[in-house]
């Protein structure tokens, strides 16, 4: 049971997330279906507060800064215009992390509902992909 709690906590931590904890959990001999489910729930447990707490952060940031536009923000906006929320959030777990992808999406104007929907879909798809591929690969090497 402690192992599954560690999976939950690991999936909730930005940068560890599902891409690392799912393969580690399965390779450690834990039940793949349970690892996928617990990791999904752990990752969503921190994504949901991030999405719904964003408005408070935005107000705080507006008071702190005068909304200066940097080159980095310009590049992020260009990527946003090219791929939109679905592309950013779908690639998030493997490129920048699901937390950061959701945060950037909210920063660039995505609605809470769309960010939550696409984040849930993305984390679910990637959790299944990491879990199934790890289980199949691990099974292949242990035969």
Strand blocks (E) in the chain: none
Find, among 95, 120, 107, the residue nearest to 44 by Cα.
Answer: 120
Please give the model's pTM, rounded to 2 decimal places.
0.78
Find, among 108, 109, 85, 111, the residue nearest to 98 by Cα.
Answer: 85
How far apart, in whole angstroms, are the C-alpha atoms of residue 89 and residue 107? 13
pLDDT at 42: 96
pLDDT at 37: 97
On whether the CB atoms of residues 51 and 112 are closer than 8 A, the answer is yes
pLDDT at 95: 81
Rg of the chain over Cα atoms, rounded to whole angstroms, equals: 17
On whether the CB atoms of residues 91 and 80 are closer than 8 A, the answer is no
pLDDT at 78: 72
How far apart, in whole angstroms, are the C-alpha atoms of residue 71 and residue 86? 23
pLDDT at 139: 64
Find, among 17, 23, 31, 16, the residue nearest to 4 by Cα.
Answer: 31
Domain ranges of the chain: 2-142
**Within the chain, which residues score under 50 in pLDDT?**
none
What are the tokens at 127? Answer: 């959790």
pLDDT in tens, 123-132: 999 999 999 9
């Amino acid at each position: 049971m402690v192992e599954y709690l560690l999976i939950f906590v690991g999936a909730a931590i930005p940068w560890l997330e599902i891409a690392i904890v799912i393969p580690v959990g399965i390779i450690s001999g834990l039940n793949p279906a349970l690892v996928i489910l617990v990791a999904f729930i752990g990752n969503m447990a921190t994504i949901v507060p991030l999405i719904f707490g964003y408005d408070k952060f935005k107000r705080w940031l507006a008071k702190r800064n005068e909304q200066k536009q940097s080159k980095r923000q310009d590049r992020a906006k260009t990527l946003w215009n090219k791929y939109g929320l679905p592309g950013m959030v779908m690639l998030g777990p493997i490129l920048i992390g699901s937390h950061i992808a959701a945060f950037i999406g909210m920063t660039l104007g995505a609605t809470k509902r769309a960010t939550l929907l696409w984040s849930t879909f993305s984390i679910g798809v990637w959790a299944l992909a990491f879990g199934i591929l790890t289980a199949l690969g691990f099974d292949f090497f242990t035969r």
